[in-house]
Each structure stands twice: as C-alpha cells, then as structure tokens.
C-alpha cells in the first residue's frame, strides 16, 4: 500500500523548511511560486506543475522550487511513471547541488528509491534527510515504508509513531500504523490504530482491517458486529455477506452463516460462495446439500470464460 502525506501538510513543511531559500527569489518569481504552492496545497498539482516548470528554468530557481516541482509528480502515488521518477531524481540532485543540507531533496531521493524497490537505499537517504541542517519530517514516513518492506517492523513502528505525533495525524497514517502493528502480531494495538483512522475518515476498507484483526484473535462476535455495520449501510454488498457468513461459521452460528451465504449467492452467484456454504453444510452434517453446492461451484467454474 502506498501512502502519502496530505498536500496541505507537504506545503506547510516545505514552507517552514524554506528559510533563506525563498528570500533569494526575485519578486516576480516569488509571487508565481506562492501561487504554485497554493494550487498544490489545494490539490491542483498539474496547474502548479505548469508554473513550476517555467520557474525551474530561471536563474534564481532554488531548491524549494525544484523540490516542489518533484512533489507534484510524487503526489500521484502509484501512478508515477518511471520517467517521472527519473525526473524527480534529477530535480532532487539539482537541488542538492544548490544546497546539500536541503532535507526535502534527500526525502525525494528516498521516495524515489522506495518506488523503485531499493529499500536499503531509501532508509539511508531518509536518514540523511532527517539529519541535515534543514530536515524534512516526511522522511520518517519514507523510512517507515522502507523498513516495513525490509521486515523491520519495530523500526517502522517507531518512525510512523513519531510521524503521526509530530508530522501527519491523518487517517492514512493511522492505517499505515495499523498495518505495521498487524505485521508485528499486535492485534489489539492495530485495532486501536484502525479505529482512530475510522474516526477521522469512514472507510469500508478500514472496517475490514479491524475485522481481520478481531478474527485473528478469535473475537468472532465483535467482528460480526463490525461487518453488520457495513451491511446496514449497504445490504446489497455480497462481499460483506460472505465475510459475515465466514465469521458466523467460525462462531458456530451455522444457520446464520447459511443465511448470509445464501444472500451473497442471490446477489452474486460466485463459485467460492458455494464452496464456503458447502463447508458449513458439511459442519451441520448435511452431506447432500454440501455436495450440491460443490457441484454448482464446479459448474460455474466450467462456465467461466
């Protein structure tokens, strides 16, 4: 999962870190740059990029301009192309030639390395971004993501906890914290992190993560209540019915599980729904109905193009 800080936070951190760099701009360049910042902070990245591309060609272009231009590409998350990543790397290295203490540029290099799967390098670059005279707190996020990929959960947890406390306390950050805690098999703390994320922004996906943690702890009744919230919001969601059916089966509420799977099948007759319902019928001692469901599942698989 790719997570990025909100653009408003990004702009704030860049502005705070700017220091002397912005003061070197000509009045006209500074005016246009502030306009680009406003556009970027309001999620108009392409419009901001158009302005910044022109500013980057000027003699007074500084690290702040170059890095914000790079951020307009990186804000696209998983959609950033290889060419865009190369552009970001070039912009960051150009910024560092002007000021090698510019943490944002080191953070961008770390983000590019993460996107390319070079996680050890990303850790080193993020660490540099945090240790220079003009550090960038977003490097904590990049280092956490790299640590997570390197299976260094404790290190990832430390960084993301610090980042949520002093950098970004958005829903996305608590979702990331929950995923790190889940990888460390700390389900109670993961649930708490996901619940915090849910309070900040409602999401079906977040509820399913809470359900997974509760299921892992065999808290089936609590998990059923969570899924029921989703079903009340959308009674035509076959996936939610299937999940609750599975949980009811684990809680040995077999008839309730059958009812859930039956409803899921009515909404969308998928072979896996039949297979799971067959398992419940078998647990109830109804071998014939189990066999019938397996036959239906096999037929659906054969009919599938």
Poorest-pLDDT segment among 6-15, 75-84, 165-174: 6-15
Q: What is the mean pLDDT of residues 287-297?
A: 97
Confidence label for 10 from pLDDT (cuts 50, 70 and 90): very low
The yes-or-no verdict on residue 9 having pLDDT over 80 is no
Poorest-pLDDT segment among 72-86, 120-134, 235-249: 72-86
> Please, what are the domains in the chain?
1-168 (1.25.40.10)
What is the pLDDT, as a whole number, of residue 260? Answer: 98
Record the pTM.
0.81
pLDDT tens profile 155-198: 999 999 999 999 899 999 999 999 999 999 999 999 999 999 99
What is the pLDDT, as a whole number, of residue 77? Answer: 80
What is the pLDDT, as a whole number, of residue 18? Answer: 46
What is the pLDDT, as a whole number, of residue 23? Answer: 47
CB 19 within 8 A of CB 134: yes
Residues 6 or more apart whose Cβ sits within 8 Å of residue 145: 3, 114, 122, 156, 176
Residues 6 or more apart whose Cβ sits within 8 Å of residue 47: 39
74/110 Cα distance (integer angstroms): 11
298/275 Cα distance (integer angstroms): 9
């Amino acid at each position: 999962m790719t997570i990025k800080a909100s653009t408003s936070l990004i702009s704030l951190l860049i502005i705070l870190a700017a220091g002397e760099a912005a003061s070197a701009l000509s009045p006209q360049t500074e005016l246009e740059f502030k306009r680009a910042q406003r556009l970027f902070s309001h999620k108009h990245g392409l419009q901001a990029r158009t302005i910044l591309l022109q500013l980057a060609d000027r003699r007074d272009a500084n690290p702040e301009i170059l890095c914000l231009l790079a951020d307009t590409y990186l804000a696209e998350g998983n959609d950033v192309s290889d060419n865009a990543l190369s552009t970001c790397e070039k912009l960051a290295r150009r910024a560092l030639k002007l000021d090698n203490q510019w943490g944002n540029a080191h953070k961008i290099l770390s983000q590019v390395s993460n996107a390319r799967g070079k996680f050890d390098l990303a850790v080193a670059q993020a660490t540099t971004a945090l240790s220079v005279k003009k550090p960038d707190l977003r490097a904590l996020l990049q280092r956490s993501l790299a640590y997570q990929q390197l299976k260094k959960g404790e290190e990832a947890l430390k960084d993301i906890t610090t980042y949520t406390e002093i950098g970004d306390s958005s829903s996305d950050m608590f979702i990331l914290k929950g995923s790190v805690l889940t990888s460390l098999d700390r389900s109670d703390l993961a649930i708490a992190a996901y619940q915090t994320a849910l309070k900040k922004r409602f999401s079906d996906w977040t509820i399913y993560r809470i359900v997974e943690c509760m299921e892992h702890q065999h808290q089936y009744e609590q998990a059923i209540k969570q899924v029921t919230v989703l079903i009340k919001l959308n009674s035509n969601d076959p996936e939610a019915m299937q999940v609750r059916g599975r949980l009811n089966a684990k809680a040995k509420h077999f008839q309730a599980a059958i009812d859930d799977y039956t409803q899921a099948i009515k909404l969308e007759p998928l072979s896996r729904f039949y297979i799971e319902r067959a398992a419940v019928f078998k647990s109830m001692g109804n071998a014939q109905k189990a066999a019938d469901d397996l036959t239906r599942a096999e037929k659906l698989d054969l009919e599938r193009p």
